[in-house]
Amino acid sequence: MSITLLKISCPDRVGLLARLTTFVAYHGGNLLEVHQFTDALNGWFFARLAIDSGSLALDTAALSKAFSSLAVDLKAQWSIRETTQPMRVVIVVSKADHCLADLLWRWRSAEMPMEVPLVVSNHEDLRPLVEREGVRFELVPVPGEKSGCPEARAAAFAKLTGLFREARADLVVLARYMQILPASICEEWFGRVINIHHSFLPSFAGANPYRRAYERGVKLIGATCHYATADLDQGPIIDQEVVRVEHFHTPDDLLRLGRDCERLALARGVRYHLDDRVLIHGNRAIVFRD
């Protein structure tokens, strides 16, 4: 069954949900699922409506047009999308393969409603893993920050975003990409770049989180799936996962145990995004989980 997803956030006011559900009913739409959240502290309204596409009297374009005048009145941010058109996801990696292998397995198993037109890396290592799945792999080496070649570095990132555009990416997933995206990319692609950080943010933001977790002697480690922003590791958090550790776990053990957290948190976060279940407000992510 094809489903039409309406996602909306706007200032709260009386009767919002009645207006939305009446709008859908007016166009013949059969509501399959409604999620709504009113942030009373900030006076904001969030909703996600899943509608049986076949029941609608209008196609997606016409429905969007009909909705846009209502949306203007509500000062809303919104989107309408049909699930027959899965998102196109570009995965960006470095050398670590666990998140990539996991995403590819879930994609192949039809667990993730997405297309993967491209994987990009700054290293060659993972090319075989990608190409054996019949997925295009592109190498975009990035000169180090201390290379003294800011122009070459900028050119590399320009090439990267060029590839995103060429692949008509709806979403970019940084699956343990060990480069920091320039602020300008984070801003241009805001809400469309998901990153996995290998710590339980805000703990151990920045480099070497497992080593620092070991040194601090924490009893739980974790991973955080969040939207990339210009402020490193500060973007809206979509999901987190933790695992209990003990004194006998070395930094290498934390790495190993952390990999499982990273795979799970990233997979869940990406899945929520692909299904239009995430709405961003300021630095918080409203996630209508499934």
Work out whether 33 is an interface residue with a copy of itself (CB under 8 A): yes
Work out whether 156 is an interface residue with a copy of itself (CB under 8 A): no
Q: What is the rounded CA–CA span in Å between residue 183 and residue 232?
A: 9
Q: SS3 of 280, please?
A: strand
Judged by CB under 8 A, the number of residues near a copy of itself is: 64
Work out whether 14 is an interface residue with a copy of itself (CB under 8 A): yes
CB of 69 to a copy of itself, least distance (A): 19
Work out whether 219 is an interface residue with a copy of itself (CB under 8 A): yes
Work out whether 179 is an interface residue with a copy of itself (CB under 8 A): no
Q: Which C-beta is closer to a copy of itself: that of 71 or that of 218?
A: 218
Q: Figure out which of the listed residues 237, 266, 270, 274 binds a copy of itself, where binding follows CB under 8 A.
A: 237
Work out whether 254 is an interface residue with a copy of itself (CB under 8 A): no
Q: What is the rounded CA–CA span in Å between residue 73 and residue 261?
A: 43
Question: For tokens 């996602």, what's the residue?
Answer: 7
Question: For tokens 């059969």, what's the residue?
Answer: 30
Q: What is the rounded CA–CA span in Å between residue 7 and residue 135?
A: 31
**Cβ neighbours of residue 61 closer than 8 Å, sequence gap 6 or more:** none
Strands 137-139 and 114-121: parallel
Q: What is the rounded CA–CA span in Å between residue 142 and residue 42?
A: 41
**Which two three-digit tokens encode residue 241?**
């996962």
Q: What is the rounded CA–CA span in Å between residue 60 and residue 31?
A: 15
Q: Which helix (H) or strand (E) holds 126?
A: none
Binding mask 188-217 for a copy of itself (x = CB under 8 A): ------------xxxxx----------xxx
Contact segment (CB under 8 A) with a copy of itself among 114-122, 162-170, 183-191, 244-252 equals 244-252
CB of 225 to a copy of itself, least distance (A): 9
Query: Using only C-alpha atoms, what is the Rg of the chain?
Result: 21
Q: Figure out which of the listed residues 236, 258, 274, 276 binds a copy of itself, where binding follows CB under 8 A.
A: 236
Contact between residue 175 and residue 91 where contact means Cβ atoms under 8 Å apart: yes
The residues assigned a catalytic role are: 233
Contact between residue 206 and residue 232 where contact means Cβ atoms under 8 Å apart: yes
Q: Is 5 left (phi over 0), alpha (psi -120 to 50) or beta?
A: beta
Q: Which C-beta is closer to a copy of itself: that of 151 or that of 246?
A: 246
Q: Which C-beta is closer to a copy of itself: that of 172 or that of 235?
A: 235
Residues 97-116 that bind a copy of itself (CB under 8 A): 97-98, 101, 105, 109, 111
Contact segment (CB under 8 A) with a copy of itself among 68-76, 162-170, 188-196, 236-244 equals 236-244
Work out whether 22 is an interface residue with a copy of itself (CB under 8 A): yes
Work out whether 83 is an interface residue with a copy of itself (CB under 8 A): no
Work out whether 286 is an interface residue with a copy of itself (CB under 8 A): yes
CB of 156 to a copy of itself, least distance (A): 28
Helix 16-26 to helix 60-74 angle (10° resolution) is 160
Identify which of 219, 218, 263, 224 has the alpha carbon closest to the alpha carbon of residue 240. 224
Residues that bind a copy of itself (CB under 8 A): 14-18, 21-22, 24-25, 30-34, 36-41, 55, 97-98, 101, 105, 109, 111, 132, 200-204, 215-220, 222, 236-240, 242, 244, 246-251, 253, 256, 260, 264, 283-287, 289-290
